[in-house]
């Protein structure tokens, strides 16, 4: 009886066949079975309409926890593992320059003064320039083709670092690594946001970043092993670090083409029922499907580039990710300056990365469990602050305490920056809005690479007062920006609750359908 009732209710709204309605109407017989077999825990129906009497998109979703959990597990199985591997390779190919530095690269390539800083810096120049264009291309193509292609070509570029005979060749290779890696992080972030709801996303994002951190741990161990190949084939040990790791990236890229999943409606691992259920679930997460931005036109462009959230989110990310870059580029150097040999510096970096990964995953789980982002950003920043303060006063503490401070910095900084990415993604809606906003955030935020590459100069070793001081200031930039962000979101939610954004319903109907998170029904999370 309830099954017939659910189908009848859907038909009552048939005067406007929204995409959500059409998909859910197909599901009516399936939902009826769930109701009659008590496999549901509630019935939730929401129909939205504006003050002028125009019908909004219909959202009618019969919750079925067993089915939803089954779909989520399938998505996790098909989407996450290959992305974890790719993220690990990205981290290794980005950070192995620091391993090569302390193994003789500077001498062999006749690098002097700040040449190493320039080689580090050039990566971020191309990385920043190509992020937004790459995500625009991704929006028009398939993730499996685009992301695997990027992986293949940055693998070639990474391998070229080990074959170059000059400093200029190294700089050129680093430029192309940055250009091809540029599309990966905003690309997978956008892809994940198409499959996971707002409170499912953070744990998956942090898992990927944690895999990168673990890769950093193994990068030191792998570098320690690869330099033992010194002289093999006439190549120095540091060259084999680049050659082997670049070759591994190329091999994975060839396999990744067949493992990376495409957009949800193209997902071969989901049947029609599961695709429809996923579509309804994602529309429920997007204010019942009305907070859309499926058309890229002049009004949409203005809304995207004029959104204050993107820029506050970018500087929030900037402050946190600076620590990530400092750890990736200079951790072996920092440990060596604490008095460890080159080999021990490689080995001693491993537990730093492992502890950081555990902290990142723990905090990410808590952010989703308690459905709060802001408090956990403050916790991460506080932990990193303790570490930086210890190293700024390192003349008065033992080497063991300084080593402990590195753990605090890595754990606090690495735990924070994925949350800043997830938090902005949670608060933007619509395909184009998410694609462009994530790319802009990461592009601006990665300007931290310019900072991180130039604040640890050899002339200031071993104290690195400027390096630690600037990094501490960046952490507190994140504190300030996240505070502005949460206050702004609460202020905007208040305006919407009071109906002060309802005037947007009077805009042309096509624009109302393309407002994204500017739609009055959308609510921000913090």
Helices 167-181 and 115-140 meet at what angle, rounded to 10? 30
How big is the chain by its Cα radius of gyration, in Å?
25
More confident residue, 448 or 524: 524
Is residue 506 predicted with pLDDT exceeding 70? Answer: yes
CB 453 within 8 A of CB 117: yes
Helix, strand, coil percentages in the chain from 3-state DSSP, rounded to 5: 75, 0, 20
Can you give the pLDDT at residue 239?
94
CA distance 155 to 249: 5
Local structure of residue 45 (DSSP, 8 states) = E
**Predicted confidence band at 243 (pLDDT cuts at 50, 70, 90)?**
very high
- Rounded to an integer, the average pLDDT of 38-51 is 32
| Nearest in space to 170 (alpha carbons), one of 138, 122, 236, 231 | 122
CATH number at 66-270+277-288+297-497: 1.20.1250.20
Question: Poorest-confidence range of 19-23, 152-156, 261-265, 510-514?
Answer: 19-23
| Nearest in space to 518 (alpha carbons), one of 229, 291, 238 | 291
How many residues are recorded in the chain? Answer: 526
The highest-confidence range among 207-216, 449-458, 494-503, by mean pLDDT, is 494-503
Looking at every residue in the chain, the average pLDDT score rounds to 83
- Rounded to an integer, the average pLDDT of 196-208 is 90
State whether residue 16 is helix, strand or coil.
coil
Question: Poorest-confidence range of 29-33, 283-287, 447-451?
Answer: 29-33
Phi, psi at 427, each rounded to 5°: -110, 15
Task: List, for residues 468-483, the tens digit of each pLDDT value.
Answer: 999 999 999 999 999 9
Is residue 382 predicted with pLDDT exceeding 70? Answer: yes
Domain map of the chain by residue range?
2-63, 66-270+277-288+297-497
Task: List, for residues 281-293, the tens digit of each pLDDT value.
Answer: 888 877 666 788 8
Can you give the pLDDT at residue 287?
66
Can you give the pLDDT at residue 37?
31
Q: What is the pTM of this model?
A: 0.77
**Predicted confidence band at 149 (pLDDT cuts at 50, 70, 90)?**
very high
CB atoms within 10 A of CB 490: 11
Can you give the pLDDT at residue 8?
39
Q: How is residue 206 written in tokens?
A: 């942090």
Rounded to a whole number of angstroms, the distance between the first and last alpha carbons of the chain is 41
Task: Give me the DSSP letters along 319-345.
Answer: HHHHHHHHHHHHHHHHHHHTT--HHHH
Question: Poorest-confidence range of 22-36, 168-182, 499-513?
Answer: 22-36
| Residues contacting residue 96 through CB under 8 Å, at least 6 positions apart | 158, 219, 223, 241, 242, 245
Task: List, for residues 340-361, the tens digit of each pLDDT value.
Answer: 777 777 678 888 889 999 999 9
């Amino acid at each position: 009886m309830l099954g017939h009732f659910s189908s009848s209710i859907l038909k009552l709204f048939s005067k406007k066949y929204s995409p959500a309605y059409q998909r859910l109407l197909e599901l009516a017989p399936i939902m009826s079975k769930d109701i009659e077999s008590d496999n549901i825990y509630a019935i939730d129906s929401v129909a939205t309409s504006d003050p002028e009497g125009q019908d909004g998109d219909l959202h009618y979703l019969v919750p079925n926890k067993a089915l939803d959990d089954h779909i989520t597990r399938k998505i996790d199985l098909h989407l996450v593992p290959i992305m974890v591997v790719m993220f690990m390779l990205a981290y290794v190919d980005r950070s192995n320059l620091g391993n090569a530095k302390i193994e003789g690269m500077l001498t062999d390539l006749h690098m002097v003064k700040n040449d190493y800083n320039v080689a580090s810096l050039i990566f971020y120049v191309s990385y920043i320039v190509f992020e937004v264009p790459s995500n625009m291309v991704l929006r028009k193509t398939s993730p499996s083709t685009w992301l695997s292609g990027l992986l293949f070509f940055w693998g070639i570029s990474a391998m070229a670092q080990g074959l170059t005979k000059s400093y200029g060749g190294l700089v050129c290779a680093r430029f192309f690594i940055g250009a091809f890696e540029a599309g990966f992080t905003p690309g997978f972030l956008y892809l994940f946001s198409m499959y996971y709801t707002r409170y499912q996303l953070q744990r998956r994002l942090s898992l990927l970043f944690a895999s990168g951190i673990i890769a950093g741990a193994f990068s030191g161990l792998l570098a320690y092993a690869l330099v033992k190949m010194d002289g093999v084939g006439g190549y120095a040990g540091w060259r084999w670090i680049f050659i082997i790791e670049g070759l591994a990236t190329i091999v994975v890229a060839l396999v990744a083409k067949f493992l990376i999943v495409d957009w949800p409606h193209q997902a071969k691992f989901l049947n029609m029922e599961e695709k429809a259920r996923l579509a309804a679930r994602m529309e429920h997460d997007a204010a019942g499907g009305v907070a859309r931005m499926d058309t890229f036109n002049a009004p949409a462009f203005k809304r995207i580039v004029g959104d204050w959230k993107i820029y506050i989110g970018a500087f929030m990310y900037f402050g946190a990710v600076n620590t990530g870059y400092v750890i990736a580029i200079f951790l072996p150097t920092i440990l060596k300056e604490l008095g460890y040999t080159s080999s021990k510096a490689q080995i001693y970096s491993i537990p730093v990365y492992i502890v950081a990964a555990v902290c990142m995953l723990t905090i990410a789980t808590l952010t989703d469990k308690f459905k709060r982002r802001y408090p956990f950003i403050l916790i991460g920043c506080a932990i990193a602050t303790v570490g930086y303060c210890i190293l700024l006063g390192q003349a008065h503490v033992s080497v063991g305490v300084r080593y402990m401070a590195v753990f605090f910095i890595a754990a606090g900084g690495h735990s924070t920056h994925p949350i800043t990415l997830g938090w902005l993604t949670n608060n933007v809606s619509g395909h184009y809005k998410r694609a462009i906003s994530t790319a802009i955030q990461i592009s601006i935020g990665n300007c931290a690479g310019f900072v991180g590459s130039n604040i640890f100069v050899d002339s200031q070793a071993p104290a690195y007062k400027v390096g630690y001081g600037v990094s501490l200031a960046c952490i507190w930039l994140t504190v300030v920006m996240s505070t502005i962000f949460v206050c702004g979101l609460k202020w905007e939610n208040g305006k919407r609750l009071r109906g002060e954004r309802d005037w947007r319903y009077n805009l042309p109907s096509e624009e109302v359908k393309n407002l994204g998170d500017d739609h009055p029904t959308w609510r921000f999370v913090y």
